[in-house]
Every structure is written in structure tokens, then in C-alpha cells.
Amino acid sequence: AIYEVMGTALFWALLLAVIVVGMIPHFAAKAIREHFMPNDIQIAREMEKSQDSRDANQPEVQMSTSTRA
């Protein structure tokens, strides 16, 4: 009987759906927790990201403009 059921596409689709639906609460809670109650490491990562984006807008080498007479 189990071999007949496992041979159907519906069995595999439902198995995958059950696994995905079972994981949704975990990932939703994790996303909410990280967004509304970040820990120190997450705050530091966010600060590092914003620092990197500011550095990307700055040129690597400052060019000085001088005119020769």
C-alpha cells in the first residue's frame, strides 16, 4: 500500500507542502524578531553595511586640483 501511495505525484507534492508550511512559523518568527528586536551582532552588521555603502560613494583616491603657472 505504501509503495502505491509513494508512486503518486500527489504524495510528493503534499509531502513538500507539509514541510514548507511547517517551516513558515519558524522563519516568520525569526524575521519579526530580527526586525523588531535585533541583537547587538545584527545592529553591528547593519552599521557595517551602511558604512560600506557610504564608502562606495567616496572615491578611493582624493584628487587635488592644482594649476601650474
Residues of the chain with pLDDT under 50: none
Q: Domain for residue 69, yes or no?
A: no
Q: Domain for residue 37, yes or no?
A: yes
Domain count, the chain: 1
Q: Is 5 helix (H, G, I), strand (E, B) or coil?
A: helix
Q: Domain for residue 62, yes or no?
A: no
Per-residue cell: 18 = 507539509
Query: What pLDDT is recorded for position 23?
Result: 98
Q: Domain for residue 27, yes or no?
A: yes
Residue 46 lies in domain:
2-53
Q: Domain for residue 63, yes or no?
A: no
Q: Domain for residue 59, yes or no?
A: no
Q: Domain for residue 34, yes or no?
A: yes
Q: Cα–Cα distance between 36 and 42 in angstroms, integer?
A: 11
